Amino acid sequence: MYEIVEKREEVPNIHRLIIREPNVAKKAKPGQFVILMPDEKGERVPMSIVETKKDTFTIFMLELGITTGKIANMHPGEKLYAVAGPLGQPAEIEYYGNVLLGGGCYGIGAIYPLAKALKAKGNRIVTIIEARSKYLIYLEEKLRIVSDEFYIATSDGSRGTNGHVQTVLDRLIKNGHRFDHAKFIGCTYMMMNCSNITAPYRIPTRVALNTIMLDGSGMCGCCRVSVGGKTKFACVDGPEFDGHQVDWAELMKRKAAYQEAEMISYQTSPHICRALIENYFGESDE
Amino acid sequence: MTDFDTLVQKAKRSWDKLHAQKTPVIYAGAASCGRAAGVLPVIEAIKELKATLPLEIVEVGCIGPCYLEPIIAVQKKGHPTIFYGNVQAIQAAEIVENYLVKNDPQPDKAIGALSSPNGSETTIPSIWDHPMLKAQKRIVLKNCGLIDPQNIEHYLANDGYQALNKVLQMKPETVIQEITDSGLRGRGGAGFPTGLKWKFTRAEKDPEKYVICNADEGDPGAFMNRSLIEGDPHAVLEGLLIAGYAISAVKGYIYCRAEYPLAIQRFRKALKDMRKFGLLGENILGSDFSFEIELKEGAGAFVCGEETALIASIMGERGMPRQKPPYPSQHGVWGKPTVINNVETLGTVPAIIRNGSKWYARFGTEKSKGTKTFSLVGKIRRSGLIEVPLGTTLRTVIYDIGGGIYEDKEFKAIQVGGPSGGTIPAAFMDEPLDYENLNKLGAIMGSGGIVVIDSDTCVVDLARYFLQFTENESCGKCVPCRIGTKQLLNLLTKIVKGEGTIDDFELLEELAHTISEGSLCGLGKTAPNPVITTLTYFRDEYVAHIVDKRCPAKVCKDLFVYVVDAETCIGCEICRKRCPVGAVSGEKKQPHSIDITKCIKCDVCFTNCPAKAIRKVDKVDVIHVSH
Amino acid sequence: MLVIDGKKVPFVEGKTILEIARENNIHIPTLCAHERLPSFGACRLCMIKVHGVPGFMNACTTPAKDGMVITTNNLEIKKLRRAIFELILSEHPSSCMICAQAEHCDKFNSGIMKAGVITGCNTCPNKDMCEVRAIAEELNFKTIRFPIFYKELPIERNDPFFDRDYNLCIHCGRCVRVCQQVEGAHILVFTKRGHDTKIGTSFEKPHIETDCKFCGQCIDVCPTGALSARGQKWYQEPDDRVRTTCMLCNKGCRFEMDVKWGRIVAVRPDPDYKTLKTGICVKGRFCLPTFFNAVDRIRFPRFLQNFKLYPTNWDEIGSHVAELLEAYPPSKIALYLTNFLTDESDYVFRKFAEMMEITNIYTTVEDLTQIPKKGIKVLWTTEGLPGLKNFKTLEHLIFQEVFPSEGYELADVVLPAAAFTEQFGTYYTQRGPMPIQKVVKAPDLALEDWKIVCKIAQELDLSGLNYLDVDEIEQEMGRVNYKQKVRPVDEYYLKYRGTPIAEKVPDFKILLEYRKNRAKPW
């Protein structure tokens, strides 16, 4: 249970983890997520499920803070303290016609199951992925296979279009591309920008929100978001919401809620990776 | 009679005895070049003769024509001494025996002769009339290949340390004046007047001064310094002593790269002998002048040839240049005024002192006086080490001395000055080789490496090769050199792969400018020279690569394919059998064909085809690349 | 006299062109130059033209000469400078610097960024203090024409206190120079050559395996985020910077502390303190913020009731302590004064003792042996002490501390003290008396030690012990000619009051454990 079967840093900071948990593997549907805890005292971090196999599932984890750092420093064979999932509502997978998928950062991985499922429904898939630079692009081959059109944008122009998902999206729409549905996963800023672009064209837009979460079952209320003026919980009502209805400004504020706690935690936890501590003190008889 | 005169007379006696003795002497060119060509087994083979034939073997340095190595000279009393070239171990004993026992001088194998004072005449022309040696003027290389570099008496017998002896009776200022008058300029590359450098350093107030002999020769294809050290180390050391005396230095350093183990060995032996003969240490030759020399081995960083990096390295720090000013003449090793001279510069000094500045200034041009050694390599028929007066034309060097292009191919260009130098096209063949002129043409004298290029060489690829060298050898300190050379190399790699765009011209030129203007030391400042000169003189080749996606010399592997000419192919199956990837197909006696998708361009089929039926064809003519 | 960009400026012998330009407010961009370090000439951004000299010169190494006419910013120079900087950007993860969305993205991602590997300013711990970024803005960079080379070096996190992501390194050599020429340590060196040149330790050993003292000066001079103290540099710009003196030992080092959200987040040597040539020690540089921010600080006065320490306010605890002290004769009461009291607190304590006629004043652990001899019943300690439970005569323990250290479990009164960064005062050190500044507010109800004494004195109706501030105490100390001594706590003392620093600072613990065989662990 919860064993890390495989772990690889695909590109700097993005780790692909295969975790053994048959229940999640059996039940997970595209768009759902899991909550992981590396150790008993660890923070609880939500991760999109990217692929499932018999009794394992794959996630792409962005190493960003202490907890993800702890997971990044674990080795295959080690076990996570807890895995809860699958959580959240599965993504809407229907036949729409022309579907646009936008992914950035961990979202490049997270859009992959959606692309696969949407493709299976007979949709025509246009995928746009963004990264800061060419060396941060991953999963390109797999995404190309399930996409009918595939675009890359980098903020430094080192590959594909110089810009972002919205840069390519804007160009495609202006060049006459018509989309019947759009889904975006990535950093909040990107999802907001893309939603703003699709809004005037009335393209139904779904975004997967990455809020702070605790229990993932709708009890704590950490993941509260305002969608269309109503309070929703990202963990049980989402993570997918109508991108045109999300109160983005509020979301950004809520995401910064724990800055001070993070600072203290950063100052007071030992950071040396566990393997090294063992290396230092485990074999001290030399 | 002074002690020194006694030393010299004794040395002369033993030198004369060696040349007049009854026992035959075999002189074997055993410098690095000779060893690489296999002289050691030759010596072994000759040694085996000793059992039946009394003879003596003397290992000497290199006389110059490296393409003839291994070279041995056989001295026989009453007969001319005969030089034999390309002597292999299996025939060595036979050659020696034929001459010594059977009295057969073997003119077909001989490359020249030295007539003995009262010996019999010979039909073999003098070694000095050998086409490669005839047009030379040997001042620095005077003793190379003729004396035993490990025997200080050989040097003493050939005017050795006469200059030092003379200098010790002169005022240091007079010595500097003499060098200044001779017009000697630094032979390490930049060509700064040596006398002036000494004068500046002497003028510094700090009484603790140093002299450094820069023996960190590192240009690919350059071996002038190595040959000189291996052939005549005392000439360099005598120069170092004179420099030390002239600036009143307390100590001298030799900074020699560790990749020159033989040179280091020669130096060590020479230093030991000098001390024994009172030429080093306290009160040299009984004078007030005391001087120590320390040998430092460099670990093989090219940049350590740069004077400030070299100084850092001597002091045990990382070989990283620092910005000048202050110059080493003000702030050198241990923060003290320091003169750094190249091996060849120092090697020239004794000759100038002995013969006078006027004599030396007769050679060369108005601004570039004297002679300069060059290593002549590449696609040239007679490769080796030469010494010519500065101002000699390229034509003399390439055709008269070098014997023209190897396999009579078309002479395309020379690359002079190593990776810091430039490529000079054949059109400038009548230009004189001197400092000003080479700078004018975009190259530099450098330490004097000349690489001859024929029509089979792609200049873009050549520039890329040199860039790869500098990119690797950059010390990594300053941005333009560390990153600029990497980006420049990257651009050139793109071009040779056929991925260049027309915008790359501008980028290449700007980048080259940035590197040369922005870099901290000479390595970076001159690193783009191969690119700048090839862009100037061979722009059409760049255009061919970038626009037409063609490599005219058929060197850049991504731009051509191998094709079998069905009419010429004799179906011998050699290419099919040798191809390592099975890209060649065809039946015996039937024309073969090459599958270009499998071909890895290893060149095996091309070089081995007896019928010359395999052609290199521009890829664009075979495959239509769609863009 | 020199002329720089048409402006006449005085010539100073022995100074470089850059120094003279800066003294005269003429801006020349640089990355490798640093006021504390010898010039290096590596970044090549300070290229200038000296009239009459062919080519360009770099301002940071070229000695100024009288009469020089210098241009620092004509078109030709600007072009060269841009071209050189573009090369730096092609290697430094710079996508955020040239990203059109950077400004908005920054606003949205205002959270704490501390990614493992740094791939852009967005995740860089140093983004608000980055000199590369500043120059990119100054030169207004929007595109890079060269291919991007990401070095793909693994982030080096095998050491306590700081991570090294040399992918960000621009080879300015400041860390190497500060390590070699200021600290004299030679831990950081240039390794490899050519494009692979890298800064690091010899043989790529972790710092903990070298003789690195973890003085942290390399981090202070790093213009990028390549060297960053873990948990100290990733907050954006600090809210405040305050300078004070270290009280962890008697050396009297001066600090400058970064304050964010009311907490100390970083410490570095006081840049103005000229006598402080080398760095501050690892305790001050790295351990302090973690130590004083530790979550288990004593925050409230407490007293024992029903076997439990109940939190209370100062009024209640004051009268509680007053009652307690009045219940015993002074001969049965002892005071333990820690070496970490400010001079003022120490004076107030002693004055209090004198007024209360308490003569049992202990300052060392050895002094405690007198407890059974004299039958001490009440011990008021200002420091956690070992072995208190062996003293059977003790009936009450008043525990005035920063942390619940040794003996806390025996206390029946707990008084929360402010740490030295949370108060004003003076500390007598090897350098003489040094000022202590209040950097941050003490947590919750914690108070300066002298204030605690005053609170209790008030309840005891002792007059002459109600000071407004430390200045008042200092004046009185001057009047009575009170002399403080240098405390017997040396550089390698491992506790603050009764708490081992390593207990609260896991990285320090690792350092001590790893170097336990060394007489001087740093």
CATH code, B390: 3.10.20.600
Q: Of B97, B130, B163, which closes a domain?
A: B130
| Mean of pLDDT over chain C | 91
Model confidence band, residue C114 (pLDDT cutoffs 50, 70, 90): low
Q: Does C230 touch chain A (CB under 8 A)?
A: yes
C195 and B471 within 8 Å at the Cβ level: the answer is yes
Domains of chain C, start order? 2-89 (3.10.20.740), 111-237 (3.30.70.20), 302-494 (3.40.50.740)
Closest residue by Cα to residue B304 from B149, B43, B536, B523: B523
Chain A: list its partners (3+ Cβ pairs within 8 Å). Answer: C
Question: Quick check: do C and A touch, 3+ CB pairs under 8 A?
Answer: yes
Instruction: Kindly state whether residues B244 and B325 are assigned to the same domain.
Output: yes
Residues in chain B with pLDDT values less than 70: 1, 116-120, 624-627
Instruction: Kindly state whether residues B444 and B405 are assigned to the same domain.
Output: yes
Number of B/C CB contacts below 8 angstroms equals 105
Instruction: Kindly state whether residues B476 and B539 are assigned to the same domain.
Output: yes
A266 and C101 within 8 Å at the Cβ level: the answer is no
Report the helix count and the strand count for chain B, using DSSP H and E: 27, 18
Question: Crossing angle, helix B39-49 and helix B89-100, to 10 degrees?
Answer: 40
Model confidence band, residue A285 (pLDDT cutoffs 50, 70, 90): very low
C98 CA: distance to closest CA in chain A (Å): 6
pLDDT at A286: 32
Number of A/C CB contacts below 8 angstroms equals 142
C108 and A271 within 8 Å at the Cβ level: the answer is no
Residue B6 domain-assigned (yes or no): no
B520 and C193 within 8 Å at the Cβ level: the answer is no
What would the two tokens of residue C143 be?
A: 């595109």
Contacts of B482 in chain C (CB under 8 A): 171, 194-195, 197
Q: Does C236 touch chain A (CB under 8 A)?
A: no
Give dist(CA C343, CA B200) in Å, integer: 62
Closest residue by Cα to residue B314 from B291, B292, B341, B333: B333
Task: Please name the residue of chain B whose CA is at the shortest distance from the CA of residue C195.
Answer: B482
Closest residue by Cα to residue B211 from B299, B307, B303, B348: B307
A280 and C294 within 8 Å at the Cβ level: the answer is no
Closest residue by Cα to residue C424 from C393, C454, C447: C447
Instruction: Kindly state whether residues B240 and B112 are assigned to the same domain.
Output: no
| Residue B538 structural domain | 459-546
The Cα-based distances of A170 to A100, A186, A200, C98 in angstroms read 12, 17, 11, 20
C263 CA: distance to closest CA in chain A (Å): 9
Instruction: Kindly state whether residues B213 and B288 are assigned to the same domain.
Output: yes
What would the two tokens of residue A196 be?
A: 């703003």
Task: Please name the residue of chain A whose CA is at the shortest distance from the CA of residue C124.
Answer: A64
Residue B34 domain-assigned (yes or no): yes
Where does A3-87 sit in CATH, by number? 2.40.30.10
Contacts of C42 in chain B (CB under 8 A): 477-479, 520
Task: Please name the residue of chain A whose CA is at the shortest distance from the CA of residue C112.
Answer: A259
A132 CA: distance to closest CA in chain C (Å): 6
Instruction: Kindly state whether residues B417 and B301 are assigned to the same domain.
Output: no
**Helix, strand, coil percentages, rounded to 5, for chain B:** 45, 15, 40
Residue B3 domain-assigned (yes or no): no
B480 CA: distance to closest CA in chain C (Å): 6
Model confidence band, residue C113 (pLDDT cutoffs 50, 70, 90): low
pLDDT at A142: 92
Question: Quick check: do C and B touch, 3+ CB pairs under 8 A?
Answer: yes
pLDDT at A284: 35
Amino acid type, C8: K
C400 CA: distance to closest CA in chain B (Å): 54
Instruction: Kindly state whether residues B286 and B238 are assigned to the same domain.
Output: yes
Give dist(CA B335, CA B118) in Å, integer: 58
Give dist(CA B241, CA B289) in Å, integer: 10
pLDDT at A274: 47
Residues in B whose CB is inside 8 Å of some CB of C read 301, 303, 318, 320, 322-323, 325-326, 471-480, 482-487, 490, 507, 510-511, 513-514, 517-520
Contacts of B490 in chain C (CB under 8 A): 146-147
C116 CA: distance to closest CA in chain B (Å): 25
Residue B136 domain-assigned (yes or no): no
B563 CA: distance to closest CA in chain C (Å): 35
Instruction: Kindly state whether residues B477 and B602 are assigned to the same domain.
Output: no
C506 and A269 within 8 Å at the Cβ level: the answer is yes
C157 and A155 within 8 Å at the Cβ level: the answer is no
The Cα-based distances of C395 to C302, C334, C413 in angstroms read 17, 12, 12
Residue B137 domain-assigned (yes or no): no
pLDDT of A69 over the 60 cut: yes
Report the CATH number that the domain containing residue B612 is assigned in CATH.
3.30.70.20
Give dist(CA B481, CA B489) in Å, integer: 11
Contacts of B474 in chain C (CB under 8 A): 193-195, 197
B476 and C173 within 8 Å at the Cβ level: the answer is no
B479 and C84 within 8 Å at the Cβ level: the answer is yes
Selecting from C47, C56, C87 the residue whose C-beta is nearest the C-beta of B487 gives: C87
CB atoms < 10 A from the CB of A18, how many? 18
Closest residue by Cα to residue B39 from B19, B18, B68, B64: B68
**Helix, strand, coil percentages, rounded to 5, for chain C:** 30, 20, 50
pLDDT at B221: 85
What are C337-370's pLDDT values in tens digits? 999 999 999 999 999 999 999 999 999 999 999 9
The Cα-based distances of B507 to A111, B39, B307, B485, C203 in angstroms read 39, 49, 31, 13, 37
The Cα-based distances of B316 to B63, B297, B313, B320, C20 in angstroms read 36, 11, 5, 11, 33
Contacts of C292 in chain A (CB under 8 A): none
The Cα-based distances of C113 to A262, B281, C109, C140, C236 in angstroms read 10, 65, 8, 24, 9
Percent share of chain A, pLDDT over 90 = 38
B178 burial (CB, 10 Å; 0-12 / 13-18 / 19+) is buried
C212 CA: distance to closest CA in chain B (Å): 19
What are B482-523's pLDDT values in tens digits? 999 999 999 999 999 999 999 999 999 999 999 999 999 999
pLDDT of C228 over the 90 cut: no
C510 and A64 within 8 Å at the Cβ level: the answer is no
What are C54-86's pLDDT values in tens digits? 999 999 999 999 999 999 999 999 999 999 999
C187 CA: distance to closest CA in chain B (Å): 14
Residue B316 domain-assigned (yes or no): yes
Q: Does C142 touch chain A (CB under 8 A)?
A: no
Where does A91-208 sit in CATH, by number? 3.40.50.80
Instruction: Kindly state whether residues B582 and B488 are assigned to the same domain.
Output: no
Instruction: Kindly state whether residues B489 and B522 are assigned to the same domain.
Output: yes
pLDDT at B295: 97
Closest residue by Cα to residue C383 from C444, C340, C424, C325: C340
Residue with token string 């430390």? C470
Task: Please name the residue of chain B whose CA is at the shortest distance from the CA of residue C82.
Answer: B514
Instruction: Kindly state whether residues B172 and B288 are assigned to the same domain.
Output: yes
Instruction: Kindly state whether residues B209 and B234 are assigned to the same domain.
Output: yes
* Domains of chain B: total: 5
Report the CATH number that the domain containing residue B206 is assigned in CATH.
3.40.50.11540
Selecting from C104, C150, C510 the residue whose C-beta is nearest the C-beta of A280 gives: C510
Do strands C396-401 and C378-381 pair parallel, antiparallel, or not at all (unpaired)? parallel
Contacts of B479 in chain C (CB under 8 A): 42-44, 84, 87-88, 170-171
Residue with token string 């603790």? B208
Question: Quick check: do B and A touch, 3+ CB pairs under 8 A?
Answer: no
Residue with token string 């060849």? B344
Selecting from C148, C230, C293 the residue whose C-beta is nearest the C-beta of A134 gives: C148
Domain definitions of chain A by residue range:
3-87, 91-208, 211-267
Q: Does an H or E element contain B372, and which?
A: strand B371-378
Report the CATH number that the domain containing residue B89 is assigned in CATH.
3.40.30.10
pLDDT of A281 over the 90 cut: no
Listed by number, the residues of chain A in 124-163 with a beta carbon closer than 8 Å to a beta carbon of chain C are 132-136, 154-158, 162-163
